[in-house]
Amino acid sequence: MEAVVDATDLEKTYGETVALSGASLSVAQGEVFALIGPNGAGKTTLVRSLTGTTEPDGGTAAILGSSPAAVDRDRLGVLPQEFSPPARLSARELLAYYAGLYDDPRDPDDVLADVGLVDAGDTWYENLSGGQQRRVCVGSALVNDPDLLFLDEPTTGIDPAGRRTVWRLIEDLADAGTTVVLTTHDMAEAEHLADRVGLLADGSLVAQGPPEDLVLEYGGSSRLTVETAADPAAFDDLEYPVERPERGRDRAPEAAVVVREIDPAAIGSVVDYLEARDVEYTGLSWAEPDLEDVYLALAEPTERERTRRLEGGGESGDAVADDSDLAQAGETA
Amino acid sequence: MSRLGRVGAETSAGWRSFVRRRTAVFFTFFFPVILIVIFGALVRTDPAGGGLFTEPPAYYVPGYLAVVVLFTPLSRMGSEVARHREGSRFEKLATTPLTRAEWLLAQTAVNAAIIGLASLLILGLVILLTGANIAFSPLLVPYVLVGVVCFCGVGAMLGSYTDSQDGAVAASNGIGLPLLFLSETFVSPELLPGWFGPLVNLSPLTYFARGVRAATYSGAETAAVAGVDPALANLGILAVLAVLAFALGARSIPQTD
């Protein structure tokens, strides 16, 4: 299938800050592609490079078969990350305003219904709640019924019910053939919506693929978290690998031991083990690996490296994380 | 949607946004009114022996009109561009079919409507408070329109090259105030040092003032330009400057980061 979005080796620097360093991706028609990554990883710069609102220093990009600057804008919908439309227009007026910029727009009232704001249609934007405001902004990207939709953090600030509304909307659009590229910090959102996920760290896509493939490859094993202050040595005789999560670096509570590679059916044997040795614990929880584990495995080492460089520990202020660091991260995971 | 439709949508949104900011509406009209009240009172003192405000009241009509034709577009466009940039609105608009020139044209239309109303108010107050004897030339309409186009272009540049709304407003005041008083509006050329003359000719507002004066004040001694009636010739010069300022203003509006 022909790629609707095709970018190769995109590079962009702002002064000494490297925003993109060889980012490449390809998105097929009707696909939902989610970009995840830490703050400052280059997600917004990548979206801007693809929408023609920034000019990359190197590499090539094409959307809908054209360069981003020359694309037919009637076919493109974009929600910028920190978008703030005129505050004293009502939700309906704002959608009508943006609809008025296109050749063949949708009925603004239909868009209003799609984003779940029929009852708030006559409320000025500045009087809407933060979540409602973001939904109006999402609506503004849909008024032209685009073939290709870029949503930069579309659900930031939206409550869970509103988020589900936006999710359903994106799913319906993708079902109807719209290609969607979105950025998010919500791993559940990426896992729920995306056909493929790209993890951007330090300006490069360090991993991309279907969420389940990424979880299999980088997410590590299932884990049983035992909330206990006991020394991990107390677990030495357990037949499963055990680790004490590094403080603030993992998903476990501060005082916990994580038992790896354990089937849920075997949890009873761990309980028996703890009771037999009088090891005190306050809770047990078992989880399959998910996209957040992938994120933590791949993005955290890069982020630590970047922080180290920014604090002056690195040799070069604009160097990107090396492959060995990421490979090591994958192995650790 | 045609170009006209896009400009119409942008104009409609811009107009609604403006009229719903009551403070902005109030001060847009209050500023020239208070200026006329103050200057009108000064004029009525009719001081003798030279200095400011010794000309007949009709002489100052271009100056009063310049208050809105110059200041309103500079400050409004400057802050509007800054506001658009801060809210990523240009980033959004850059991905729609609306061009930068269309956006500026729409904003200019909104300004033209506001300034047209303010100009009517000013003319009425000038006559009422100063007793000015004005000839109502139809050329007043194109002068106000072309002046608005010109200074909307300059305002767009100010907004584009400053880094915040505060900066844009400060820059518009910094540029607008000297232009207002040194463009043959309130201060006649004889009161300025000779070496300053060429600088006066660099101000677009000078051609606005000379032309409006030639069109509305029977006692004007505005010189013809290359044998052409000064009311028309100055409009032509102002129009050329307006096209240039509009083009540069549209070009300066950020389309990428």
Scanning every residue of chain B, which has its alpha carbon at the shortest distance from the alpha carbon of A141?
Answer: B92
Looking at the structure of chain A, the number of domains it has is 2
Same domain, A73 and A94: yes
User: Is residue B37 domain-resident?
Assistant: yes
Taking the CA of residue B32 and the nearest CA in chain A, the distance in Å comes to 25
Taking the CA of residue A72 and the nearest CA in chain B, the distance in Å comes to 8
**Domain containing residue A239: CATH number:** 3.30.70
Q: Is A35 helix (H, G, I), strand (E, B) or coil?
A: strand
Q: Is A183 helix (H, G, I), strand (E, B) or coil?
A: strand
Same domain, A123 and A268: no
| DSSP letter for each residue of B49-66 | SSSTT-S-GGGGHHHHHH
Q: In this predicted model, what pLDDT tens digit does every residue of A159-218 receive, in sequence order?
A: 998 899 999 999 999 999 999 999 999 999 999 999 999 999 988 999 999 999 999 999
**Domain containing residue A55: CATH number:** 3.40.50.300
CB contact under 8 A, A51 and B95: yes
Same domain, A41 and A64: yes
> Which stretch of A325-329, B65-69, B114-118, B138-142 has the lowest confidence by average pLDDT?
A325-329
Which among A78, A87, A124 has the least Cβ separation from residue B95?
Answer: A78
Which of A53, A57, A74, A133 should one mutate to test binding to chain B, selecting the residue with the greatest count of B CBs within 10 A? Answer: A53
Pick the residue with more confidence: B14 or B37? B14
Q: In this predicted model, what pLDDT tens digit does every residue of B229-257 receive, in sequence order?
A: 899 999 999 999 999 999 999 999 988 76
Long-range contacts of B133-139, Cβ-Cβ distance < 8 Å, separation of 24 or more:
B133/B56, B133/B57, B133/B58, B133/B218, B134/B58, B134/B61, B134/B216, B134/B217, B135/B215, B135/B216, B135/B217, B135/B218, B136/B216, B137/B215, B137/B216, B137/B231, B139/B211, B139/B212, B139/B215, B139/B231, B139/B232, B139/B235
Which among B13, B16, B92 has the least Cβ separation from residue A83?
Answer: B92
Same domain, A227 and A208: no
Mean pLDDT of the A229-252 span: 78
CB contact under 8 A, B16 and A93: yes
Cα(A77)–Cα(A98) distance, integer angstroms? 11
Q: In this predicted model, what pLDDT tens digit does every residue of A86-132 receive, in sequence order?
A: 999 999 999 999 999 999 999 999 999 999 999 999 999 999 999 99
Give how far the C-alpha of residue B196 lies from the chain's centroid of Cα atoms, to the nearest Å. 22
CB contact under 8 A, B95 and A103: no
Same domain, A50 and A121: yes
Scanning every residue of chain B, which has its alpha carbon at the shortest distance from the alpha carbon of A149?
Answer: B95
Q: Write the CA distances from A41 to A36, A80, A249, B133, integer angstroms.
A: 9, 16, 18, 68
Q: In this predicted model, what pLDDT tens digit does every residue of B53-89 receive, in sequence order?
A: 778 888 889 999 999 999 999 999 999 999 999 899 9
| Phi and psi, residue A318, nearest 5° | -120, 15
Same domain, A129 and A45: yes
User: Is residue A322 domain-resident?
Assistant: no
What pLDDT is recorded for position B189?
81
User: Is residue B42 domain-resident?
Assistant: yes
Cα(A41)–Cα(B233) distance, integer angstroms? 58
* Residue B173 predicted with pLDDT over 70: yes
Mean pLDDT of the B117-143 span: 90
User: Is residue B165 domain-resident?
Assistant: yes
| Interchain contact A139–B (C-beta under 8 A) | no
Size of interface A-B (CB pairs under 8 A): 92
Same domain, A190 and A238: no
| Interchain contact A253–B (C-beta under 8 A) | no
Of B255, B107, B97, nearest to A102 by C-alpha is B97
Same domain, A176 and A274: no
What is the edge-to-edge ordering of all strands in the sheet holding A283-287?
Answer: A242-243, A256-260, A223-227, A283-287
User: Is residue B134 domain-resident?
Assistant: yes
CB contact under 8 A, A89 and B17: yes
Give per-residue burial for A256-267: e unless 16+ CB within 10 Å, then b: bbbbeebeeeee
Which of B88, B90, B110, B253 should one mutate to test binding to chain A, selecting the residue with the greatest count of A CBs within 10 A? Answer: B88
What pLDDT is recorded for position B55?
80
Scanning every residue of chain A, which has its alpha carbon at the shortest distance from the alpha carbon of B7?
Answer: A101
CB contact under 8 A, A73 and B91: no
CB contact under 8 A, A103 and B1: yes
Reported confidence tier of residue A318, pLDDT bands at 50, 70, 90: very low
User: Is residue B162 domain-resident?
Assistant: yes
Tokens of A186: 């919500």
Which helix (H) or strand (E) segment is B245 a member of?
A: helix B230-252
Looking at chain A, the whole-number percentage of residues with pLDDT higher than 90 is 67
Scanning every residue of chain B, which has its alpha carbon at the shortest distance from the alpha carbon of A137?
Answer: B92
- Please give the residue range of the domain that contains residue B88: 3-252
| Interchain contact A52–B (C-beta under 8 A) | yes
Which among A81, A94, A100 has the least Cβ separation from residue B1?
Answer: A100
Scanning every residue of chain A, which has its alpha carbon at the shortest distance from the alpha carbon of B96?
Answer: A73
* Residue A325 predicted with pLDDT over 80: no
Same domain, A135 and A247: no
Cα(B125)–Cα(B244) distance, integer angstroms? 33
Which one-letter DSSP state was computed for residue B30? Answer: H
Reported confidence tier of residue A315, pLDDT bands at 50, 70, 90: very low
User: Is residue B257 domain-resident?
Assistant: no
User: Is residue A210 domain-resident?
Assistant: yes
Same domain, A176 and A256: no
Scanning every residue of chain B, which has its alpha carbon at the shortest distance from the alpha carbon of A102?
Answer: B1
Same domain, A133 and A240: no
CB contact under 8 A, B9 and A73: no
User: Is residue A28 domain-resident?
Assistant: yes
Taking the CA of residue B11 and the nearest CA in chain A, the distance in Å comes to 9
Mean pLDDT of the A69-86 span: 95
CB contact under 8 A, B95 and A76: yes
What pLDDT is recorded for position A150?
97
CB contact under 8 A, A84 and B89: yes
Looking at chain B, the whole-number percentage of residues with pLDDT higher than 70 is 94
Same domain, A7 and A148: yes
CB contact under 8 A, A84 and B97: no
Give how far the C-alpha of residue A91 lies from the chain's centroid of Cα atoms, to the nearest Å. 27
Q: Is A154 helix (H, G, I), strand (E, B) or coil?
A: coil
CB A22, CB A203: distance < 8 Å = yes
Reported confidence tier of residue B147, pLDDT bands at 50, 70, 90: very high
- The verdict on pTM exceeding 0.90 is no
- Please give the residue range of the domain that contains residue A270: 221-287
Looking at the structure of chain B, the number of domains it has is 1
Pick the most confident of A7-11, A306-310, B168-172: A7-11
CB contact under 8 A, A100 and B12: yes
Q: In this predicted model, what pLDDT tens digit does every residue of B78-119 receive, in sequence order?
A: 999 999 998 999 999 999 999 999 999 999 999 999 999 999
Q: Residue B80: its chain A contacts at CB < 8 A?
A: none
Q: Residue A76: its chain B contacts at CB < 8 A?
A: 95
CB contact under 8 A, A103 and B9: no
User: Is residue B125 domain-resident?
Assistant: yes
What pLDDT is recorded for position A190?
95
Scanning every residue of chain A, which has its alpha carbon at the shortest distance from the alpha carbon of B94?
Answer: A53
CB B75, CB B180: distance < 8 Å = no
Of A69, A44, A72, nearest to A151 by C-alpha is A44
Q: In this predicted model, what pLDDT tens digit does every residue of B37-53 receive, in sequence order?
A: 887 766 565 555 556 67
User: Is residue A324 domain-resident?
Assistant: no
Scanning every residue of chain B, which has its alpha carbon at the shortest distance from the alpha carbon of A94?
Answer: B13
Cα(B133)–Cα(B127) distance, integer angstroms? 7
